[in-house]
Amino acid sequence: MDRIHVYPIPTNDTWSRDFGPITVAQNGTARLLDFGFNGWGLKFAANQDNQVNRRLSEQGVFGSIPMQIPGLILEGGSLESDGEGTLLTTAECLLNPNRNPHLSREEIERALSSLLGFDRFLWLENGYLAGDDTDSHIDTLARLCPNDTIVYVSCDDREDEHYEALSRMAAELKAFRTRDGKPYRLIPLPWPSAVYDEEGHRLPATYANYLIINKAVLVPVYGDSHDEEALAAVAQAFPDREIVGIDCSPLILQHGSLHCVTMQLPQGVLP
């Protein structure tokens, strides 16, 4: 516990992935970006969430690291980067008029290029999870991995409502090319059994919402028969890391999972 720091700060919700600071490196130093968060398109209140980063900074959490407010609505869960200039994202989220209706696709690309350093954009036009309030965040559907690999959610149940949309998403992923013009190595994740809340609403259970940490990958599991298969699939993408399953049954009841509830800070950000 001597490595755990607790800061009591009011929030509207728990999903720090979407309102936490995004760190970029500029001229060898870290810089924090505090994007606007509007409750995934004005679905939920976000007045407290939007003040979390400022309040953390005021308490000295980030030391002297500067924080910039870009004036753009953007959630961390909508971005997936290879760390080398490529962004994988969904049109359903980033181009949704409930976020930045005044910006076109080209204008959003220019803004993200300037702020985050992207020079390649891979847009998915298909893919969703029932019960997902985020308008198809990429971190629930497909993730960029080392060595030009993409791990993605795959539905093999033709009777499931997701089958058509996720099949079209898989076809899009197969058509994507790396910076060198080659196809990506694609690793499908198994389709977990349907999970419902007490009122019978389907929840967005996904194995794609894993968290990469130092020397390990923490993978959400749900006490499902497909859990072990999912862990093995992620292990293919990260052979040099320990793969650890984390029971996310309580989180999925809140319509999110492991990556959604966390935000990593690179070494050097914390004093």
Tokens of 252: 């999925």
Q: In degrees, to the nearest 5, what angle opens at C-alpha 16 toward C-alphas 7 and 33?
A: 95
The amino acid occupying position 142 is A
Q: CA–CA separation, 212 vs 25, rounded Å?
A: 19
Locate tokens 């749900």: which residue?
Answer: 222
The amino acid occupying position 48 is Q
Cα 137–chain centre separation: 6
Q: Could you tell me which of 197, 252, 194 has the C-alpha nearest to residue 221?
A: 252
Task: Establish whether 260 is a catalytic residue.
Answer: yes
Catalytic residue among 93, 155, 248, 260: 260
Active site residues: 260
